[in-house]
Amino acid sequence: MQFEQRMYARLKFLGLMAELYETAFEDFFHRLMCARYPDFLDVRTHGGLGDQGADGLALHERKLYACYAPQTVDVVQVKQKLMSDLTKALEKRSGQFDTFVFVHNDRRGMHPRIATLLSETDAGHPDVKFEQLGTRRLWYECMRLDQEAAEEVLGCQIPIQPVIHGVGMDDLAPLLKHLRDQRVAADPLMPLPDVEPGKLDFNRLHGDARQDLVRGMRHSHLVDAFYEGGIRAVEHDEVAQGFRLYYEQVRQEWTEPEDVLWQLEMYVLGNGSQQPRVQRAAWVILAHFFERCDIFDAPPPGWVGSGVEVSA
Element (H, E) at 90: helix 75-92
Encode pLDDT of 145-197 as tens digits: 988 999 999 998 887 655 443 334 456 777 887 787 775 555 444 444 556 67
Element (H, E) at 225: helix 221-227
DSSP letters of 143-159? Answer: HTS-HHHHHHHHTS---
Vertex 243 angle, CA 237 and 245, to 5°: 105
Most confident of 39-48, 122-131, 242-251, 252-261: 122-131
Position 179, amino acid:
L
pLDDT for the residue 194: 56
Encode pLDDT of 281-301 as tens digits: 888 899 999 998 889 998 888
The rounded percent of the chain whose pLDDT value lies above 90 is 23
- Alpha-carbon distance values, 214 to 64, 193, 222 (Å): 44, 11, 15
Q: Are 133 and 95 in contact (CB under 8 A)?
A: no
What is the separation, in whole angstroms, between the first and last Cα of the chain? 35
Q: Are 224 and 273 in contact (CB under 8 A)?
A: no
Vertex 70 angle, CA 64 and 75, to 5°: 85
pLDDT for the residue 190: 47
> Is 9 or 4 the better-scoring residue by pLDDT?
9
Q: If you average pLDDT over every residue of the chain, what do you get?
A: 82
- Among the residue ranges 34-43, 169-178, 270-279, 301-310, the one predicted with the least confidence is 301-310
Bridge pairing between strands 40-41 and 56-58: antiparallel
Of 194, 193, 202, 204, nearest to 301 (Cα)?
Answer: 202
Query: Span 247-258, mean pLDDT?
Result: 85
**Beta strands across the sheet bearing 40-41:** 40-41, 56-58, 63-68, 99-104, 129-133
pLDDT for the residue 302: 82
Q: Are 246 and 267 in contact (CB under 8 A)?
A: yes
pLDDT for the residue 58: 93
Encode pLDDT of 200-210 as tens digits: 999 999 888 88
